[in-house]
Amino acid sequence: MNFKGKPVKVIITGDAKEQFEELNNVVGKEIQKGITSSDYQTLLNSIKQKIELLKANPEYGIHIPKDRIPKEYSIRYEVNNLWKSNLSGAWRMIYRGL
């Protein structure tokens, strides 16, 4: 997808990637068992929906002011520009912006 004429990628890395893969595994096992609806499936679908929204508009979500970004995020993840999007079940997705 393109945004303002530039290609857009959503890349999941680090801890988020591990958790996303684990969630995918749990949902896959549920589906194999014939479970068609669960909190895990709802959360995974919510994340996938937000990823598609981000591909269409990388500025989607709520921008977190720089002075509100936890210092541990700045140090651990080397970020100074974060966004937040609410997911199902009171979960939140925090991501680095442009």
Q: Which of 31, 11, 69 is nearest to 84 (CA)?
A: 69
Q: How far is residue 26's CA from residue 83's CA, in Å, rounded to a whole number? A: 27
pLDDT more than 70, % of the chain: 99
- Global confidence as pTM: 0.87
Contact present, 34 and 84 (Cβ < 8 Å): no
Q: Is the pLDDT of residue 98 over 70?
A: no
- Tens digits of residue pLDDT in 61-78: 999 999 999 999 888 888
The CA-atom distances, in angstroms, between 46 and each of 3, 50, 70, 73, 75 are 22, 6, 25, 24, 28
As a whole number, mean pLDDT of residues 68-92 equals 91
